[in-house]
Structure formats: structure tokens, C-alpha cells
Amino acid sequence: MKNPSFSRRFGGLKYKLFDTFKENKKTTLFLIIFCLIGLLTGIFTAIRYSNGASLINFNDFSLSQYLSGELGTGDLFFSRLLSTSVIVVLTLICSFSIFLIPVNFILVTYRAYLLTLNCSLIIIVNGLGGFVTCLLIIFPCQVISLLIICLFCSFSCKRAVLKRRYGSTCKIWDKFLITFIALVILNGIETLLLYFFSSKIILVL
């Protein structure tokens, strides 16, 4: 039997999310466009440099560890945590001026680029096992992470616009904290899933 209280809360959260994107149609459209650019660029880059040798220092997944089969490690957790923390902090800073809004789109493009770059290289290196690992663990976690960052970017852009037009701003510190905690939890879940399942999937397949 469904819990009415949980259903109401989930429905309210879903409404707020859709309402936020609906209120910021232009921002949402730009976020989608830049995400697509980043996703496609990541795929083409991975195909072009399929050996991954020249890409190890340019992605937050520490590809060298992925190539050695060390997927669910503390180093990877803190590497991703550092990357997402920098992006969230920069997005927060962008909320203080309308002239910094383009930086938000660059950050989102970069995250989307990393997503498909890393997944594509893992698939190229590990074949079917890498594909299943990306499909079941890495891609879903990173897509959710990207959506959370996009949502925070929408709040950041809205705050910058309000500050410019009316001199007033909406609260963003609570959203910053929620975003950061959500990303940390998601990062932890992804790391645990990789630790327990990824090596088995790759070895079996």
C-alpha cells in the first residue's frame, strides 16, 4: 500500500522541478543545446583518440584507474567529488552576476562531454563488459548528476537575472547545500556499485 504522505511529497517535488524548468524556458533550451554539444563532442573525441593515452589527464574519472580495472575506489570517489564540488561552487559564483551566466553553460557542456567521453572509452577498452557497466551503473548515475547540476544552473541564472533587473535575489544557499549533498550521495552510490559489480561484469562478459 502506498504511503499518501510520501506520494504527496514526491508529487510536490516533481511539480517543483518541472515548474522550475518551465519558468526558465530559455535557460532550459540553452542547457539542452549545450548538453547535446557536450555529449556529441565526448563521443567523437573518444572515437578519435580511442587508445585513451592522451586523454587520461583530462577527465574526472581517472581513466588510468578505469583501464587497470580499479573502478570502485576511494581515489575515484574523491576525484569525482572534487570535480563536482568545483563545478557547483563555480555555478554558485555565477549567480552573483548576469555576465557570468555563459560560464554556467560552459560548465554543463564540460560535464556532458566528460560523461560520454569516459563511457565511450570504457566501452572501447572493455568491450561488452564495459558497455554493460556503463549502461547499468555509470551512465544512469552521471545523467542524474548532470540533471542536478542543470537544475542548479537554472536557479543560478534566475538569481543573476533577478539581481540585474530588480536588485533583489532569491535564496540560493539552501539550493547549493541540497545540490552538493545530493551529488555526494550519488557519487557514493556510484562508487559502491562499481566496487561490488563492475569488475565482475567486465570479467564475466
Query: Is residue 5 assigned to a domain?
Result: no
Classify the C-alpha dihedral 135-139-144-150 as positive or negative: negative
**How many of the other CB atoms lie within 10 Å of CB of 123?**
18
Query: Is residue 189 assigned to a domain?
Result: yes
User: Can you give the residue range of the structural domain that contains 66?
Assistant: 24-204
Q: pTM above 0.95? A: no
Query: Is residue 187 assigned to a domain?
Result: yes
Query: Is residue 55 assigned to a domain?
Result: yes
**179 or 170, greater pLDDT:** 179
Query: Is residue 19 assigned to a domain?
Result: no
Instruction: Give how far the C-alpha of residue 122 lies from the chain's centroid of Cα atoms, to the nearest Å.
Output: 17
DSSP state of 198: I
pLDDT confidence bin for 143, thresholds 50/70/90: very high
Give 111-128 pLDDT, tens digit per residue: 999 899 888 888 887 788
For residues 197 and 137, the answer to whether their CB atoms sit within 8 Å is yes
Give 52-108 pLDDT, tens digit per residue: 445 444 444 455 555 555 555 677 788 888 888 999 999 999 988 889 999 999 999
Query: Is residue 184 assigned to a domain?
Result: yes
Query: Is residue 12 assigned to a domain?
Result: no
For residues 55 and 121, the answer to whether their CB atoms sit within 8 Å is yes
Domain count of the chain?
A: 1
Q: CA-to-CA distance for 156 and 89, rounded, in angstroms?
A: 11
Query: Is residue 89 assigned to a domain?
Result: yes
Q: CA-to-CA distance for 56 and 201, rounded, in angstroms?
A: 23
